[in-house]
Amino acid sequence: MTQRFTEINELSGQILKHAFEIHTALGPGLLESAYKECLAYRLNKDGLFVEKEKPMPLIFEEIKLDQGYRLDLLVNDKIVVELKTVDCFTDVHIAQTLTYMRLGGFHLGLLINFKVKSLKDGIKRLIL
């Protein structure tokens, strides 16, 4: 196992640990923005670099579109974290996260749905 893979795996474990703690404390009934703020706060408190609502430009040939695309959280410039509060994930949610990963050159994404009874049922780990 490479050092880079180990670091990313440990980092994703740390993100998920805090997501579970927040879900346990707050339950599934809040807005996505509340979970995003709480998770960013916890990760920052752990000393991680967290960017909220990070702009993700779309570049096609000579055209650069800066508006419209924003990652919920980018952790340590390595992991895309997209948060949802939906009844269930759709293909669009997965495609959105994968697109952000491709546009930014990121290899791991965590799609987390806080509107579930048990958070383990609301996590998708996406790898490029």
The closest of 33, 48, 44, 96 to 70, measured between CA atoms, is 96
Q: What pLDDT shows up at residue 68? A: 67
**Is it the case that residue 5 has pLDDT exceeding 80?**
no
Q: If DSSP codes are grouped into helix, strand and coil, which group holds residue 67?
A: coil
Kindly state the helix (H) or strand (E) to which residue 70 belongs, with its residue range.
strand 70-75
Q: What pLDDT shows up at residue 59? A: 76
Q: What is the pTM of this model?
A: 0.91
The closest of 11, 31, 3 to 115, measured between CA atoms, is 31
Cα–Cα distance measured from residue 98 to residue 7, given in angstroms and rounded to the nearest whole number: 21
8/69: higher pLDDT: 8
Fold for 3-127, please state it. Answer: Trna Endonuclease; Chain: A, domain 1 (3.40.1350)
